[in-house]
Amino acid sequence: MKKFSSIVLIGLLLIFTSCKKTESNCNGNVEIKGNNHLVDVSVLKTVPQMLDSLAKYPNLQAASIVNDEYMTSVTCNYFYNDLIVFGASYQLTKSKKFGYFDCFDYRPKVTLPTNLAQNIDNKKAIEIAKKEINLEPTCLTSQLGYAYQDTSIIEKPSSYKLVWNIKSGSAYVILDASNGSVYSKFDGRFTIK
């Protein structure tokens, strides 16, 4: 029994230490740009309609694909003027049993503003985020994009703000790219009370 518990302890130690990112394997801060697909879309060759949609709409970025015995589905991020719209998505699903298609369209229904000022650069955004929550000093990603920042149920162009999304693992800070105001943050830890 003692040998078994030692093996389990060593195994757990290896798992936890191997998953820890260090400066040597992380390469510091990374700014995410562009809307290249995040997954291999060649899986969709069996559903040419999906490949056709991705070709027709270059503002869609394939983020995940499900291809199992029941369905083929692609979920896409949505980009506007080469910037991601956080929270917006577009999903196409084809049932393999019945052959029908479903489309879930969560893209903005209004034209987004293009005259939003970006006074906060990538480095300043990271500096602000680090003051808000304890982010890992390495392995930070930052991405400039649009976010819906309105409590109204009526969508309008002024509801969208230009924001920086600064992430480290599951921790994040979303802040206004014009003035640095923090819209939301999460330190990556769930607590049960």
Domain boundary among 78, 106, 134: 106
Q: How far apart are CA 92 and CA 133, in angstroms?
A: 36
Query: What integer pLDDT is reported at residue 23 of this predicted model?
Result: 37
Mean pLDDT over all residues of the chain?
A: 83
Residues 157, 182 within the same domain? yes
Query: What integer pLDDT is reported at residue 84 of this predicted model?
Result: 94
Residues 96, 116 within the same domain? no
Which residues constitute the domain of residue 65? 41-106
Q: How far apart are CA 51 and CA 90, in angstroms?
A: 14
Residues 6+ apart with CB under 8 A from 95: 70, 71, 101, 102
Residues 6+ apart with CB under 8 A from 36: 61
Domain of 141, CATH number, reads 3.10.450
Q: How far apart are CA 92 and CA 43, in angstroms?
A: 14
Query: What integer pLDDT is reported at residue 31 of this predicted model?
Result: 79
29 domain-assigned: no
15 domain-assigned: no
Q: How far apart are CA 79 and CA 153, in angstroms?
A: 22
pTM of the model: 0.77
Residue 41 per-residue DSSP state:
G
pLDDT in tens, 100-147: 999 999 999 999 988 888 999 999 999 999 999 888 766 788 999 999
pLDDT in tens, 11-26: 333 333 333 333 345 5
- As a residue count, the chain comes to 193
Q: Using DSSP, state whether 151 is helix, strand or coil.
A: coil
CA dihedral 68, 44, 31, 126 (to 10 degrees): -40
Distance, first Cα to last Cα, the chain: 35
83 domain-assigned: yes
Domain boundary among 71, 88, 106: 106
